[in-house]
Amino acid sequence: MAPTVLHVRAETKPLEHRSAVTPTIAKQLVDAGYVVNIERSPLSIFNDSEYEGTGASLVPTGSWTQAPGEHIIIGLKELPEEDFPLKHIHVQFAHCYKGQGGWEKVLGRFPRGKGTLLDLEFLEDENGRRVAAFGYHAGFAGAALALMTWAWQLTHGKDEPLPGVTPYENESLLIKDVKEAVESGKAKAGHLPRVLVIGALGRCGRGAVDLCVKAGLEDIIKWDLPETSAKSGPYQEIVESDVFVNCIYLSAKIPPFIEPNSLSSPDRRLSVVCDVSCDTTNPHNPIPIYDINTTFSSPTVPVKLPAQANDLPLSVISIDHLPSLLPREASEAFSSALLPSLLQLNDWKHARVWQQAEKLFTEKCNTLPEGAVDGQAELVANQSVARLDAKTPARLAYTDLRKAINIRGDNATEAASGSYKSAVEKGRLLYTHLQCADVQSHYQWTDLERYGWTADRRKQPRGIPSDIQTPLLSDPGDVVGGLGCPRIEAHDPIEPKDVEWDHLRESTVEGKHYNPTDAWYKGIYYPKLGVLIVSNARSPRYAVEQEKRIDEWEGGDLVPLGLLSDVMFLEYEHLCKTAVPPLQVRDLRYMFRSQIVNKETREIIFEVLKRRGVVNGPVAWPGTAFKFPSEEALALLSTPNGRGAAWILISHRAELGWKTIKQITVFDNLLSASERSVFREWSHPSMLIEFEDSKAPQQDEPGAGKQEQ
């Protein structure tokens, strides 16, 4: 009988550095007769080289989508939010069994593809205890961030949130930072914080308590079922503590531990809540004072307090991947605990732990609402995306990629927009491709005219769009802090260059006929300063959609050379190479999107600003900056006006080198503050997208680090 193949997929969530199968465990699985395929991962705490010598095979990132159906796919966190059916057995945390938001879409993909979900959260031993969990390190990390936040509030004031954090190499370094923070907070407050932990006897609670002890705290209140069962919530004891850490396992509706009204108590000391359980979208969440997950890049969210509340701030930490703060230690502990169950996967149908997981999967599938298994109208398009995802870039014709662009590229329609959550997940997937993918455009600048494009080159530029003049032309040392580009009046022989490409001519290339589409890309270029300005864009697909003649249009295919990421980059590259002396193409640093009117992009812009407390739309320069990989930045990246920048970096890496996106700044210099408050819908936002150099993935052999498409 052929050996069982375990395919360990790469995690896609930014800052998720853990792995379900560590190098140590991979070797033990191989020694037990399993074939183990490990996807290369630029995010994992374990370098690809650490798996060498284990007997496991390194395979391309994302290749699980095209693995044979009998392979078992192992991961940690949920899959990217897409809709193509799932045909494999998946071992992972799916977060779709407790009524979480969007659960039916996540779960429905499995029966639709005749796949099976064996959820790690519900693997139990004979005594009903979970066989493996990250709970201890989740509680440990959550309590650490809670104490850091308590100290930060005291030393920096209530209006400055805790800065982003990055994973620690080991526990000792984390404890050192926590101790230093607590001492600084004690110096301000005159006392150490009182911490209340609910669920203190479980794995998660023990981790939280252990961190508090190692940090030198003395006033630690440890509650579990006896205390919460003695009386009903909300609990005044929480309000009278400095820090509350929630470590319960929520399986049914319970009275709230705390609610907005209880925050008006004059005895409130509470300034930090860490919801390690993180049941944010669960309708029975016992901490109904917040409604969004936070991230390591933005660890806290402020709570809106009642008018009669005292002046103390209140912040919530609701990170759903807390163990990633200590990714190596958390992974080693989890993977070791999971090993006995993994060793039963070669006969999982007859292994009790996996039998129970399959039974639960079947029961949950039976609760799916009508239509969830059938899928949505965009299923066919998403299946195409999935198939493209799994192809090797070297064998993939670049023109085929535009089939996937309708979902993820710079040419997508509003039909692909979805919700804010969907935008975040699509942005996350694109951001992962930005770090891993190697899909190269084969087009050259000379191809533009071959495919029917005509250039309008103006000796004197028409003018810098008024909305971006301040950020573009202001000196970096000014109060407003701009890029310091020269004005048009400077008559620089090299820049700025005003070039418009129009698709107005028929063309025949390699025997295929393409009709004109009346598309255009209008740009202003500063090649010496690495600035590309998209002043107006109308892609071929969008142009013919306006005429309702998409795909086969007037007897000819839609022109394949038509993406913003190709047309405008090729012009930028041409200007660099023909300058005297020639300029470095890879010095591209900034991209402006001016006066955005796209409905999908505008909706996401207003949503991310609202989550930052900016309610009347974009403000004047310097605007609002969203750094990667925050959820807001990922959502902006997913928009039609954002993703073109990502595809420039992905598909022209040979010319640009390895780059990533540092941040996206949103602003509107056309409306005054008073006008924004009244005429919010008149806002035509602009975006400044900033690039920066990044390191290439570690390459241990030819082709290493490349992601299949």
Give the integer Cα–Cα distance in Å for 660 and 637. Answer: 12
Do 453 and 567 contact (CB within 8 A), yes or no? yes
Rounded Cα gap, residues 327 and 309, in angstroms? 38
What is the crossing angle of helices 420-436 and 599-611, to 10°? 100
**Active-site residue identified among 77, 88, 574, 706:** 77
Token representation of residue 501: 């490409």
The 8-class DSSP code of residue 682 comes to G
Q: At what angle do helices 327-342 and 23-31 cross, to 10 degrees?
A: 20
Check residue 233 and report its DSSP letter: S
One-letter amino acid for residue 248 of the chain: I
How far apart CA 428 and CA 426 sit, in angstroms, is: 5
Q: Are 410 and 85 in contact (CB under 8 A)?
A: no
CA angle 27, 32, 34 (to 5 degrees): 80
Residue 306: enclosing H or E segment and its boundaries? none
Of 17, 95, 522, 528, which one is the catalytic site residue? Answer: 95
Tell me the backbone φ, ψ of residue 316, rounded to 5 degrees. Answer: -115, 135
| Order of strands across the sheet that contains 272-275 | 220-223, 195-198, 243-246, 272-275, 315-317, 300-302
In degrees rounded to 5, what are phi and psi of residue 431? -65, -35
- 77 among known catalytic residues: yes
Tokens of 11: 């995690």
195-198 and 89-92 strand pairing: unpaired
**Maximum CA extent, the chain:** 81
Number of C-beta neighbours around residue 70 at 10 A? 11
Decide: 662 and 681 in contact? Cβ < 8 Å: no
The DSSP secondary structure of 357-403, one letter per residue, reads HHHHHHHHHTTPPTTTTT--TTHHHHHHHHHHHTS-GGGS-GGGGHH
Cβ 643 vs Cβ 649: under 8 Å: no
The DSSP 8-state label assigned to residue 38 in this structure reads E
A 10 A CB-CB count for 493 gives 7
Report the DSSP pairing between strands 659-667 and 686-693: antiparallel
Three-class SS state of 441: coil
- CA-wise closest residue to 248 among 222, 270, 272, 211: 222
Query: Alpha carbon 300 to chain centroid distance?
Result: 17
Place of tokens 């981790």: 207
Contact 174, 168 (CB under 8 A): yes
N residues, the chain: 709
Tokens of 323: 């163990």
Q: Which helix (H) or strand (E) holds 6?
A: strand 5-8
Angstrom distance (rounded) from CA 433 to CA 43: 12
Alpha carbon 354 to chain centroid, angstroms: 31
**Rounded to an integer, what distance in angstroms lies between the CA atom of residue 402 and that of residue 687?**
24
- Tokens standing for 481? 């802090």
Backbone phi and psi for residue 453, each to the nearest 5 degrees, phi listed first? -90, 145
What crossing angle do the helices spanning 203-214 and 171-189 adopt, rounded to 10°?
Answer: 60
The catalytic residue positions are: 77, 95
